[in-house]
Each structure stands twice: as C-alpha cells, then as structure tokens.
Amino acid sequence: MQILVLNCGSSSAKFAVMDTASGQEVIAGLAQRIGSPQATLGWKMAGVKAERAIPGADHKAALETIVSVLRELGLAEGIRGIGHRVVHGGEHFSASRIVDATVVDGIRDCIPLGPLHNPANLVGIELGAVLFPGLAQVAVFDTAFHQTMPRQAYLYAVPWSWYEEHHARRYGFHGTSHRFVSRQAAEQLGRPYDQCRTIVAHLGNGCSACAIKDGQSVDTTMGLTPLEGLVMGTRSGDVDPALIGYLAPRLGITADKVIDALNKQSGLQGLSGLSNDMRTLLEAAGNGNDRAKLAVEVFVYRLAKAIAGLAVPLGRIDALVFTGGIGENAAPIRAQILDQLAVFGFRVDETRNRAHGRSVGGRITADGATTALVVPTNEELMIALDTAALVAA
C-alpha cells in the first residue's frame, strides 16, 4: 500500500511516499523556509533530485505544491492514506489513531505541552483533509510508545498537583524510532519482540535512549520536553533546574531566554564553541582541538551513564542498539561508549564496528560479549506501516 507520510514543522514540511509492501521509499522531499521569500521545495525520486522555488509560500501553498508534484509524477492516485507525525500526544494517546474530531481535539489539548510542534502538525492534518478529500489520515505520536512507562519512571518528585492539575510529568519522545528499531533488533536477535530486552540509543541532532522490556518502553531519557536527558547537538540535556534562576539575573535575561539557550546554544555546540555536528567535532578533535575533544568526552560519558541507568528496569540486556545519524555512522563514538560500559560485558569488535555491523547483521561486539547492534532507523516507514494497518482495518 502506498502511504503519504507528512511531518509538518513550524517552517518546514517533510514528506515521503512509502510503499509498505516493499518497505521502500518511492519519493521523499522537504519544503523549507515556509513563509519566507526563500521558500523552496526539494525532492528525490529514484536517486534523482529536483527543486522548485515557492517564494512566500505558506503551509497551504507548500502542501499544494507537494500535491501537484505528486500528480505530475503520477503518484497521487495510488496513495491510500496519509500518516502524520505528531510530536505531543500527552496522556491522551498511547498508540497511533485514525484522525477524527476527537483525535483533533486531543492534539489541540496537547498544544501547551508541544507549543512549537503540535499547531504545525494540526495544520498538516487540516490541509491533508482538504487536499485529499475522503482519504483516511492517521496521527502517529512521538510520545505514544512511552505511555507504557510505569509511574516510578514518569513522575517527577514535585508537588502532586503539578502532575494532577498541569500534567507535568515525563513523556519521552522519538517513540516511533525506538519502536521501529527495537522491533528490527528483536528480529535480528531471532527472539519474539515481547520477550526481548533492549536499550536503544537514538543519536541524531536530538538524542534519547530508551529501555524496552518485552516490547514496551519502560523508561527513556527525555521528559516533559525533549530538553531532558542526554547531551545533544544544541540541547544541554539534564542540568540542575536552579541553574535557570542563578543565571537569568546574572545574564540580564528572562528565564525563558535561559531555557532557549539550553535548547539552542548548548550541548555539543555550547561545549565545543565550534559546532553541533559530530562529524566536525570528531575531525577537529583528531586535529588536536581540545574543546571539541571535551565536548565528545562529555557526550559519551553522559550517554554511557544514562544507558547504565536504563539497565535497572530491564534486569538483563539482550542488546544495546545504536541508531540515528551519530549512532549509525560514528564508529569511534560507539567504541568509546562500549568501552565505558565494559562492566555489562560489552567488548567492541573493531572490524565489525568500522563496517557499522553490516557484515554481520548489525552486530558490532565480539563473539561471546554482550550484544550491541547498529540498526538504521526509519521513522517514515514506521508511520506508513501504522497508517496502512489502521486504513486496512
């Protein structure tokens, strides 16, 4: 079944047509700088790239152009459903859902929790209904997979009313990726998914790790927002919340501005003063740049500590799985993490690790050692599979 996957952001719209039978991407593209004179729509099909200027386009104009491109390429007629990535589903959604009025209301209710993303996601859903009348739409939530976390994992130790009245708790994100990757890992391990205990490290620009026990997320590193947890490209991850009150008057800025800097000027970027990009930092560290080296050291140490913590709810680790741009490509980072987790029996196999595990079904640890795997994520395919399943039902 061919499914259109849409990921509407505040100034961008990512799209793909996925064929769920083959698992292949038919076309993928991105409208960028929506709302500006520089707005463009780019796409790639069968290895061929193309781009069209859409100056001044708003979301509606951008999506209309996407639909005309799909028509011109003869793809629009074959689409059987639209799968939308929705960032925050709060406690309303523990699985993907066919979009109806109740689902739209639920997504709207979660806007205070995802103020940057949910409104854009809703725009995508509204336009999808207009551009493809009669076609089923499905909402796939970043948070849904983590709704199985037990109370001791999702509650903050704060006044009870903050949770009860304001829904302040840990939600977790990257759920679509953690679910896809942990299922692939179970297949590679040759174990039923509901008997598998894995830790997935999704390391991209945003980074999170998740403990998956018998097919369910039991803990993850992100919290109320994606700022909590690991060191990321530009996000700090965990800091003492008192830092905000300490710094705001000293810097002469509001608490909101401090939080903005924790999101956009921290992490690898803040520590290195050079870049948020792991490739750049590994190269600079190799050339003797001490701050780049330090940024990588902090990134690895904090990640290793978090992974060790996620072993607690699992009791046993069948596999540690690396995914995302860094997880899939940065062999030296994987090696350093496995070294720091030697206490769990990990021992890297350098040859397999350099080959990103491709030679041996993803495995990058030595025979006899605890298993670590590299599994490429594919959130678009997971969204398409969910959509196809709900459409077929």
Kindly state the helix (H) or strand (E) to which residue 238 belongs, with its residue range: none
Query: Rule CB under 6 A: is residue 175 a binding residue for ligand ADP?
Result: no
Query: Rule CB under 6 A: is residue 205 a binding residue for ligand ADP?
Result: yes
Active site residues: 142
Query: Rule CB under 6 A: is residue 278 a binding residue for ligand ADP?
Result: yes
Q: Name the closest residue to ligand ADP (Cβ).
A: 325
Query: Rule CB under 6 A: is residue 108 a binding residue for ligand ADP?
Result: no
Kindly state the helix (H) or strand (E) to which residue 292 belongs, with its residue range: helix 290-310
Among 124, 324, 357, 362, binds ligand ADP (CB under 6 A): 324
Beta strands 79-86 and 97-98, pairing class: unpaired
Query: Rule CB under 6 A: is residue 226 a binding residue for ligand ADP?
Result: no
Question: To 10 degrees, what angle do helices 59-72 and 118-131 make?
Answer: 50
Among 206, 226, 229, 357, binds ligand ADP (CB under 6 A): 206
Rg, Å, the chain Cα set? 21
Query: Rule CB under 6 A: is residue 325 a binding residue for ligand ADP?
Result: yes
Query: Rule CB under 6 A: is residue 277 a binding residue for ligand ADP?
Result: yes
Backbone angles phi, psi at 9, to 5 degrees: -105, -175
Question: Closest approach of Cβ 121 to ligand ADP, in Å?
Answer: 17
Query: Rule CB under 6 A: is residue 66 a binding residue for ligand ADP?
Result: no
DSSP E strand boundaries for the chain: 2-8, 13-19, 24-32, 40-45, 48-53, 79-86, 97-98, 137-141, 197-203, 207-213, 216-220, 319-323, 372-374
* Size of interface with ligand ADP, in residues (CB under 6 A): 13
**Which residue type is seen at 108?**
R
Question: Closest approach of Cβ 320 to ligand ADP, in Å?
Answer: 18
Alpha carbon distances (Å) from 325 to 201, 237, 263: 11, 18, 19
Query: Rule CB under 6 A: is residue 279 a binding residue for ligand ADP?
Result: yes
Q: Contact positions toward ligand ADP, by CB under 6 A? A: 204-206, 233, 277-279, 282, 324-326, 329-330
